[in-house]
A and B are shown apart, each in its own frame.
Chain A
């Protein structure tokens, strides 16, 4: 098992919701070979599967669309302890997921990576559409630069 995992989360069929998947794909193809200690994975909307994907790793980097009250296109790096979830879970379906809850569960189980870093990107448009809004699409390069910087610091 590689010590680091970089997970791209979201759904490419829902416009900017797919930003995490797009970034991890581009990141791996652009420079995956430069970081042999890291796995890169499009985890899509697998929800609870994140629990297993991060278990036992030293570091997990999660990239996801995030409603943060920022300007569309803004990317923010944060740790789970720096935020509080505003998501209301109905507990009706397995299909809703809150990665902050999953990280909490991982910690309780004693298998959470020492370092969990989240890169949240504020969406402009979440709707049934394949592809990002122009606003996010034109900033992909700068998002990749931030991720590469993160990986180079390891």
Chain B
């Protein structure tokens, strides 16, 4: 047994914060075991104050480049809730279709570019190309389809241009939807291939379980494996009714931890998890047939408390969103697409919007004055909701895995963080270079 361990994984620059992993073990005794998030606080909520109701989405879509559709949808729903704006069934369906494109984009990117290198023992996806060229090309093909899908529905891959409270400013043509449907049908085979590749190395995912509370959306009417509608539920609810999204602050119970500048959250316990595994644990029986088939491939069952299986739940959801979207496009084409006018009269009000980001449940609340100018905002992102849970996982993981030595332990803890698909440093991507020629 390694009696002394000293892990300090620090990734902090001025504006691009990352989580730090700190473990000190002396003579076999754990003295320190911390997940620290020293990210500079962000002030996006202050930025939207004073802005008009129809400006909010364009601003908050910049909070994150990977979840920009999700932030846009959450804010748009919140504005619609505050201003009592109705949305047509067609616009609602097209938005869900748009949202699914981001789920596929993000999940494929996460499993393919960030998790696969761990499973294939490569430092990143770039050196993986010569090692497993066909697998990488299949992943990139699926990711490209997802991006093109977002382009069609959202106007561009990142930072949507078609969303507006009340509906959509541009809708696809029936021909474009038919083409998308054909592309998605062709992508099913690629998804199955990706699942088979991951299955072949799935034994590299640590066998680690810690009893955990999982929180996600739940939709009963009609019963749906939901990312967009519904109320908030938890695996700890024990028959209590779901909580309305306007009451999300009673679920998140945000608080400040001394080891983090990001706020932490807790509900029934001292921590909870959100994300694909949370959605799976609350809604698995509502998955599409292919989603269920992928879960069966990996032996993933409701009630799973292995955080590393979040990666597998993401694959399950890739299959689900693609298969479900093929059906949704059928419905849209059967009903026929029509141009719809958006008409909004600003008024005072407060409203909330909640959608599932690929990495977990996301809450937005805004308050507007009688002119429709924003006077207050509150946003709670999924990664902040996972920080406390990562800490609790660390506290259970280290004693179980410290026998394997410092390097393996550090790698296991890094994999654990990655499995949550965190969104820590998403608002800046600047270059940092030195000239060599």
List the B side residues contacting A65 at CB < 8 Å. Answer: 430-431
Give the size category of B's interface with A: 35 or more
B425:A52 contact, CB within 8 angstroms: no
* Closest chain A CB from B172 CB (angstroms): 19
Contact with A128, one of B18, B43, B148, B423 (Cβ below 8 angstroms): B43
* Closest chain A CB from B381 CB (angstroms): 11
Residue of B nearest to A79 (CB): B437
- For residues 80 through 95 of chain A, which have their beta carbon under 8 Å from a beta carbon of chain B? 81-95
B436:A91 contact, CB within 8 angstroms: no
List the B side residues contacting A113 at CB < 8 Å. Answer: none
List the A side residues contacting B9 at CB < 8 Å. Answer: 90
B427 within 8 A of A: yes
B385 within 8 A of A: no
Residue of A nearest to B117 (CB): A91
Interface flags for A89-127 (1: CB within 8 Å of B; 0: not) read 111111111111100110011000000001010010011
B431:A49 contact, CB within 8 angstroms: no
A120:B62 contact, CB within 8 angstroms: no
Residue of B nearest to A123 (CB): B430
Interface flags for B35-75 (1: CB within 8 Å of A; 0: not) read 00000001110110000000000010011111010000000
Known: A44-B159, A78-B435. A104 touches B126 (CB 8 A): yes
Contacting chain A: which of B136-144, B241-249, B274-282? B136-144
List the B side residues contacting A78 at CB < 8 Å. Answer: 433, 435
Known: A11-B62, A92-B418. A99 touches B431 (CB 8 A): yes
Q: Give Cα distance in the complex from A94 to B425, angstroms.
A: 9
List the B side residues contacting A135 at CB < 8 Å. Answer: none
Residue of A nearest to B423 (CB): A95
Known: A52-B143, A94-B110. A14 touches B15 (CB 8 A): yes
Residue of B nearest to A17 (CB): B428
Q: Give Cα distance in the complex from A100 to B15, angstroms.
A: 19
Q: Give Cα distance in the complex from A75 to B423, angstroms.
A: 30
Q: Give Cα distance in the complex from A41 to B156, angstroms.
A: 9
Q: Give Cα distance in the complex from A45 to B65, angstroms.
A: 5
List the B side residues contacting A146 at CB < 8 Å. Answer: none
Contact with B433, one of A45, A85, A104 (Cβ below 8 angstroms): A85
B422 within 8 A of A: yes
Q: Give Cα distance in the complex from A90 to B47, angstroms.
A: 28
| Given A45-B429, A68-B434, A100-B433, 18 more pairs with CB closer than 8 A | A11-B62, A13-B63, A46-B157, A46-B159, A48-B113, A48-B143, A51-B140, A52-B157, A66-B431, A67-B430, A68-B435, A82-B435, A84-B433, A86-B434, A91-B124, A126-B14, A128-B46, A130-B47
Point out residues on B near A: beta carbons under 8 Å: 9, 11, 13-16, 18-19, 42-44, 46-47, 59, 62-66, 68, 106, 109-110, 113-114, 117, 123-126, 129-130, 136-137, 140, 143-144, 147-148, 156-159, 414, 417-418, 421-437
